[in-house]
Amino acid sequence: MKKSFFCRFSGKAIFRLGPLLLAGAMLSTFLLGGCGKTPDLPQETQAARTAAPLVDFSALEPLEVTPSVEPYSVDAELSQIVNLDQFYLSDEKKELLHQNLFLVEDWGGDEFFSIYDMNRYSQLPSFVTVDSLIHTYHLYYSLLMNRTEKNYLSGQLKQLSLTMLEGAESQYQALKGSAWEEAALRAVAFFGVGARLQDASAPVPDYAASLVETELSRVRAAGGIDTCSVTGEYMDYTQFIPRGYYEGDPVLEDYFRAMMWYGQVNFAQKTDTLTRTALLITLALGQDSQAWEEIYRVTGFFAGASDDLGYYEYAGAAAQAFGGLPAPEDLPGKESGYQAFLSLIKELEGPSINSVPVWDSDASSQEVMESVKGFRFMGQRSTPDGAILQQLVYRAVEETPQKEQRLLPDVLDLPAALGSDAALDLLEEQGETRYPNYLEQMEMVRQGMTAQPLEFWGSSLSSGWLYTLLPVLTPRGEGYPSYMTGEQWQRKNLETFAGSYTELKHDTVLYAKQVMGEMGGGPKPEIDDRGYVDPQMEVYQRLELLCRQTAQGLKELGMLEEQEEENLNRLAQLSQSLAIISQKELENQPLTQEEYELILGYGGTLEHFWMEAVKDRANTDYYDPKEIPASLVTDLATDPNGQVLQLANGYVDQVLVVVPVDGTLRLAVGAVFDFYQFTGPLDERMTDSQWRQLLGQWVDESGWYNPGTLPEKPWWTRDYRVTE
């Protein structure tokens, strides 16, 4: 009988961001309707839980604005556009501009700044997009994570593994011949695998060598779902395929596999031996948790905290049950303390996101969640988007009368849950609301997200990134430029949201737990090439604050170089300037010559940021955008029956927009995301290299450019894109 896996989680929604994130309890309350019991923690671990810096969005001082742009339109011949003779426009393009006042077309750009540089040389007005600016933040987020992991965390994790392996061996020798021997052996094997993933010469005792070698071969093969020999539980080994920016760097690939190992292996409470192993790991870590806490604190600042039970919870429960953390050798004589420990950890709430493959059975959702509740050494991070998407797939969403199960989410689920009626309408048109209680689940999540305070969004850089994007989902009406007020611009903004969200998930692919389905100068201007900023004032203000507090937080952690601090502050200053320009545009105030120069030189500014962000990865002194392009791919969710949901950005596209400048209408040109969503085989999680080869952007193994057949773009992007 073939085993069928599916996404499992409690119908009683759970979200607990865990250590570091006080705001996590807020979302927990809305999903749970209450919070689970948590044993009292030792004073030092209580302090560590709140040590991570937060992004304080309450420090933001919104600009006041009364949108006052007069409505405008163009006829079928576009006769109102003063610079029409600068463009060759087909009949299809003219019709799209007539209907929507904008269009998006393929341009084949490798990076966003290229389009703006071309505008300057061609004396075309530039249209500054949210896409281009938020992409620049992605470049720095990725750079800072990359450097932090390679220069600091990789070495710390390697040493932590060796220290924990040594401690586990000591425990094994002390407990040999007792009821704790098997648990101690599993702890030795667990840390033996972690150590060997970063150091092939790490010493592993003979008695654990077989277990270690079995797991190492499975991790490196990354072939599919199999039983983990350390825990006896199912595990998705395809998660160990190095992807994102980790791909191709030996140090980061080793770090990726080791950190993924520590995040994926679950010591489930349902098995006594695994619970004993978890307690032994907790006791070993309790001897000196500084290195672990440092890694956890830094990664938590970027990606958020784990929603799995871990050291903080188990240490608190052990201290309460035993009257202090016991010595491992004393455990055989403290059975009553162990039973008290079991009672305490059973009261703890389990994770909000299930990443464990579960064999389909007649068990209830609650029973399944109880079965996967357990301890993880360095649990992957629960994120707001992950918790939302988990509530919009099976079993939280019921199967149809035809036995259809929604095993994978859709990227539109997230903006819909965050309040976008346009996204929800598209989901309904797409047929997603055919699942019996999908709309009820969506409404529950919407209400909960609406109630979240600013502290929730400031709990990590990744959640701050999402918060920065939220204003693009807001419909615009009277007083805004006319291109912004139509249905198609809302859809284009959904693609902006999806493209930036793809970059966020790409950058945090290692840490974020997946849902498992349970300037050079141009010629002297001779024509009027004054441009326009897409007036998304709130986005620019939020990004300014996010940049400044990214720099501040990493500086406090001692992990920010002076040059990167300067660049982040410059990006913050650029965001502030774009917010002020947006305010002026919306209130029909004239821009200064300096502000028009900023728009004119926008491409050179972006190019500077790009060069600073990619210089560590360039193979030559000459930085070619094709070598390090904006295109990328990531996986968002897993249906363990054999599919993964993939998000990707292709070549940079071009947007033409009819904008008002100083009493005239003109076409301005900007750069936007080219977003894709598709499914692929579980054991073929696509990497950036493979995606870029499919695009024909990079050479394949034969040394030639051989573009393949791209997946279809989302259907809802068609009505504003040129198809010729």
The two tokens of residue 663 are 């009493």
216 and 337 inside one domain? yes
Task: Say what the pLDDT of residue 369 is.
Answer: 56
329 and 207 inside one domain? yes
Q: What secondary structure does DSSP assign to 303-334, as a single string?
A: H--B-SB-HHHHHHHHHHHHTSPPPGGGGGG-
Examine the pLDDT at 77 and tell me if it is beyond 70.
yes
Q: Is 408 among the domain residues? A: no
120 neighbors 522 (Cβ within 8 angstroms)? yes
Of the given ranges (193-202, 282-291, 411-420), which has the lowest mean pLDDT?
282-291
| CA–CA separation, 275 and 271 (whole Å) | 6
State pLDDT tens for residues 98-116.
999 999 999 999 999 999 9
Of the given ranges (300-309, 310-319, 388-397, 662-671), which has the lowest mean pLDDT?
300-309
35 and 81 inside one domain? no
Q: Is 416 among the domain residues? A: no
Task: Say what the pLDDT of residue 723 is.
Answer: 82
Mean pLDDT confidence for 502-526: 70
Distances (CA, A) of 133 to 103, 112, 671: 20, 9, 10
Query: Which of these three, 352, 380, 408, is where a domain ends?
Result: 380
DSSP H or E run through 180: none
| Residue 627 banded pLDDT, cuts 50, 70, 90 | confident
219 and 185 inside one domain? yes
Query: Which of these three, 380, 397, 418, is where a domain ends?
Result: 380
| CA–CA separation, 443 and 458 (whole Å) | 24
| Residue 372 banded pLDDT, cuts 50, 70, 90 | confident
The two tokens of residue 588 are 């029909």
Q: Considering its fold, how many domains does the chain have in total?
A: 2
122 and 185 inside one domain? no
The amino acid that residue 105 corresponds to is E
Of the given ranges (8-12, 126-130, 581-585, 651-655), which has the lowest mean pLDDT?
8-12
State pLDDT tens for residues 114-163.
999 999 999 999 999 999 999 999 999 999 999 999 999 999 999 999 99
| CA–CA separation, 678 and 230 (whole Å) | 34
Sequence-distant (≥ 6) Cβ neighbours of residue 30 within 8 angstroms: 15, 447, 448, 451, 452
Task: Say what the pLDDT of residue 515 is.
Answer: 67
Task: Say what the pLDDT of residue 375 is.
Answer: 95
The amino acid that residue 14 corresponds to is I
Mean pLDDT confidence for 455-469: 93
568 neighbors 140 (Cβ within 8 angstroms)? yes
| CA–CA separation, 152 and 149 (whole Å) | 6
Largest CA distance in the chain: 90
Of the given ranges (19-28, 213-222, 536-545, 676-685), which has the lowest mean pLDDT?
19-28
Residue matched to tokens 């599916």: 6
462 neighbors 512 (Cβ within 8 angstroms)? yes
598 and 468 inside one domain? yes
Task: Say what the pLDDT of residue 614 is.
Answer: 87
| CA–CA separation, 575 and 572 (whole Å) | 5
| CA–CA separation, 594 and 587 (whole Å) | 18
471 neighbors 536 (Cβ within 8 angstroms)? yes
418 neighbors 445 (Cβ within 8 angstroms)? no
Q: What strand order describes the sheet that includes 664-672?
A: 102-109, 652-661, 664-672
8-state DSSP, 152: I
Find residue 647's DSSP bridge partners: 634, 677
Helices (H) and strands (E) in the chain, counts: 26, 15
Mean pLDDT confidence for 517-523: 48
| Residue 251 banded pLDDT, cuts 50, 70, 90 | very high
| CA–CA separation, 703 and 643 (whole Å) | 30
Task: Say what the pLDDT of residue 512 is.
Answer: 72
Task: Say what the pLDDT of residue 510 is.
Answer: 83
Burial pattern 499-528, b for ≥16 Cβ within 10 A else e, equals: bbbbbbbbbbbbbbbbbbbbbeebeeeeee
201 and 114 inside one domain? no
State pLDDT tens for residues 165-213.
999 999 999 999 999 999 999 999 999 999 999 999 999 999 999 999 9
Of the given ranges (12-21, 122-131, 278-287, 375-384), which has the lowest mean pLDDT?
12-21
Sequence-distant (≥ 6) Cβ neighbours of residue 402 within 8 angstroms: none
State pLDDT tens for residues 570-621.
999 999 999 999 999 999 999 999 999 999 999 999 999 999 998 877 666 6
* Nearest alpha carbon to residue 190 among 256, 278, 272, 250: 278
* Nearest alpha carbon to residue 473 among 452, 501, 445, 447: 501
| Residue 382 banded pLDDT, cuts 50, 70, 90 | confident
Find residue 69's DSSP bridge partners: 479
| Residue 15 banded pLDDT, cuts 50, 70, 90 | very low
The amino acid that residue 368 corresponds to is V
Q: Is 579 among the domain residues? A: yes
| CA–CA separation, 296 and 20 (whole Å) | 9
Q: Is 391 among the domain residues? A: no
Give the domain range for residue 307: 5-39+155-380
Q: Is 548 among the domain residues? A: yes
34 and 69 inside one domain? no
The two tokens of residue 603 are 């491409």
The two tokens of residue 608 are 């500077």
Computed over every residue of the chain, the mean pLDDT equals 88
584 and 534 inside one domain? yes
3-state secondary structure of 537: helix
Torsion of CA 393, 396, 401, 403, to 10 degrees: 50
Distances (CA, A) of 152 to 251, 309, 557: 12, 25, 11
State pLDDT tens for residues 323-343.
999 999 999 999 999 999 999
Distances (CA, A) of 582 to 9, 261, 586: 44, 46, 6
Residue matched to tokens 């932090």: 148
pTM tops 0.85: yes
Q: Is 691 among the domain residues? A: yes
Task: Say what the pLDDT of residue 374 is.
Answer: 93
State pLDDT tens for residues 17-44.
233 333 333 444 444 333 334 445 444 4
| Residue 625 banded pLDDT, cuts 50, 70, 90 | confident
656 phi, psi to nearest 5 deg: -110, 125
Find residue 665's DSSP bridge partners: 81, 660
Q: Is 513 among the domain residues? A: no
Examine the pLDDT at 300 and tell me if it is beyond 80.
yes
* Nearest alpha carbon to residue 35 among 23, 43, 26: 26
176 and 273 inside one domain? yes
Examine the pLDDT at 307 and tell me if it is beyond 80.
no
Helices (H), 391-457: 413-417, 421-430, 438-450, 454-457
Task: Say what the pLDDT of residue 656 is.
Answer: 98
Q: Is 75 among the domain residues? A: yes
The amino acid that residue 668 corresponds to is A
Query: Which of these three, 380, 402, 430, is where a domain ends?
Result: 380
The two tokens of residue 251 are 């140090």
8-state DSSP, 338: H
| Residue 383 banded pLDDT, cuts 50, 70, 90 | confident
188 and 319 inside one domain? yes
Mutual angle of helices 421-430 and 487-507, in 10-degree steps: 90
212 and 356 inside one domain? yes
The two tokens of residue 421 are 């009626």
| Residue 352 banded pLDDT, cuts 50, 70, 90 | low
Sequence-distant (≥ 6) Cβ neighbours of residue 201 within 8 angstroms: none
Is the bond leading into 395 cis (omega within 30 degrees of zero)?
yes
Examine the pLDDT at 473 and tell me if it is beyond 90.
yes
